Amino acid sequence: MSAGKSRLRLPAPFYYYVSFAALPLLGLAQTRVLTALLSQSAFGSLQLVTPIIRWCVVIGGLGTPQFIVRFYSRDGGAVLWESLSLSLAATAAVSLVLGGLAIAVDPRVADIRPGALLAVLLIAALFAGQFAALIKALLRVQERHLRYNMVVVLERVGILAGVALAVWWWPRSPIEAFLIGSTIGTAAVVLPIAARRRRSWRKAASAPEPHRLREILTFGGPIVGVMLLGEMYATLNRYVIGLAGMGTTLIARYVIGYTVATLGLQALYEPLVTYIHPRIFQAWERNGPAEAHRILGRYLLIYTLVGALTAAAFYLAEPWLIPLIAGSAYRVEPRVFAALLASSFLLGVYRLLSTHYYLAGRTGELALSYFVALLLNLLGAALLVRESGLFGVAMASAVSAGVLCLLVFWRASSLTEIARATVAT
């Protein structure tokens, strides 16, 4: 038997589950470090700043990573490089806006120190995050499963090490230290990969053709809306708590509870979605809607069964999980944690159901459904936070996630028929 034939080849889903299982552990390790080095109030203040970076990365990306994954099998390399050039230009524009806001921000908000240093650090973190997203999209669409998952894990390890060192070195400025550490950690992983492909990256300097630009913006615009709404759905409630005058200490407890509840289920559904989307899109292009929906239905059933068991296990383990990760002072009531688990489970169901919208090209409708759910979430949290505290905020998240799933499921069958008619014609 030849050496090539004797080599052990693990199935592709194995790599995704190993890496996505490592991500929650590394994320929790980072939380353990930050809560050990910072006071609850400082940790809560930091949680009001970090979501802004993620929002800006999503906006600067213009949905190009998803566009690449969706249409690479149809158009090949051309769609890749044109998408990259557009994304980098948009990221530069968003960076300038974010830097200007960092200079003008009110220092009383979350103890932020406005100025040129904060602006530079925010811009650097945004570019590092965007470049990492593009690198991972390239590896994912080329089905380099092992390398993709290595980058995902190593990026998180780099961020963990960078943030830990920076916050330990500069504890009086946790926001600036966090930005320095996360930027250096990300750059240390993605820049060597980019350097090895420096000849190929020159193609990204070419502007997309007009027809490609229209197609990217038409597809990517709603994607940006959906992703931005998703990021806001996960983070805006902490601002509701702050505006209600409940303090950054309570924000810190809510964030820890939400993080623990969410990471357990994200480790289940995110690798599932990451792995099956290219397969479903390829099945759609080659064999039509029936095969694509058969694959989706099978994995949706798997997630529903395993996800319910995972949520139950995390609920039972909560009395020692949160003290292990952040300390007993960060614990939330059991009913609050249960509501957060329900919200996370339902968001996983939504993530799989939403594939129907991508296949049918109706991402605008998906953004509208998510917007309705976000409004319900914020309205419910604002009405309940003063009377019921964190439980009211968590219940608003769970109920709105249920409404989102119902809206998406209700339209899924209609979109399937529309998609089949489109293919037939």
Mean pLDDT by runs of 10 across the 425 residues of the chain is 48 65 78 88 85 85 76 66 76 78 60 75 86 80 75 87 91 88 90 68 63 76 80 87 86 91 82 78 76 82 92 92 87 94 93 79 76 92 92 95 89 59 49
**What's the pLDDT at 22?**
75
| CA nearest neighbour of 167 among 36, 51, 47 | 36
> CA 297, CA 210: separation in Å to the nearest integer?
37
Dig out the tokens for 320 from the structure: 């020692």
> CA 413, CA 408: separation in Å to the nearest integer?
9
> CA 240, CA 254: separation in Å to the nearest integer?
11
> CA 86, CA 220: separation in Å to the nearest integer?
11
The residues, any chain, with a CB within 8 Å of residue 388's CB and separated by 6 or more, are 395
Dig out the tokens for 67 from the structure: 């566009």
Give CA separation, 17 vs 11, 135, 288, in Å: 11, 20, 28
Dig out the tokens for 14 from the structure: 């194995």
**What's the pLDDT at 9?**
59
> CA 148, CA 192: separation in Å to the nearest integer?
14
CB atoms within 10 A of CB 270: 18
3-state secondary structure (DSSP) of residue 82: helix
The residues, any chain, with a CB within 8 Å of residue 186's CB and separated by 6 or more, are 128, 129, 131, 132, 155, 158, 159
**What's the pLDDT at 106?**
56
**What's the pLDDT at 393?**
95
Sign of CA dihedral 410, 258, 111, 240: positive
Give CA separation, 254 vs 29, 52, 320, 326, in Å: 18, 18, 17, 12
**What's the pLDDT at 384?**
93
**What's the pLDDT at 72?**
67
Dig out the tokens for 226 from the structure: 């959906």
Residues 133 and 61 sit within 8 Å (Cβ to Cβ): yes
CA dihedral (172, 178, 184, 185) in degrees, to 10, reads: 130
* Chain Cα centroid distance, residue 327: 26
Residue 11 falls in which region: left (phi positive, over 0), alpha (psi -120 to 50) or beta = beta
Predicted TM-score (pTM) of this structure: 0.73
Residues 350 and 405 sit within 8 Å (Cβ to Cβ): yes
Half-sphere exposure of 70 (CA within 13 A, CB side): 19
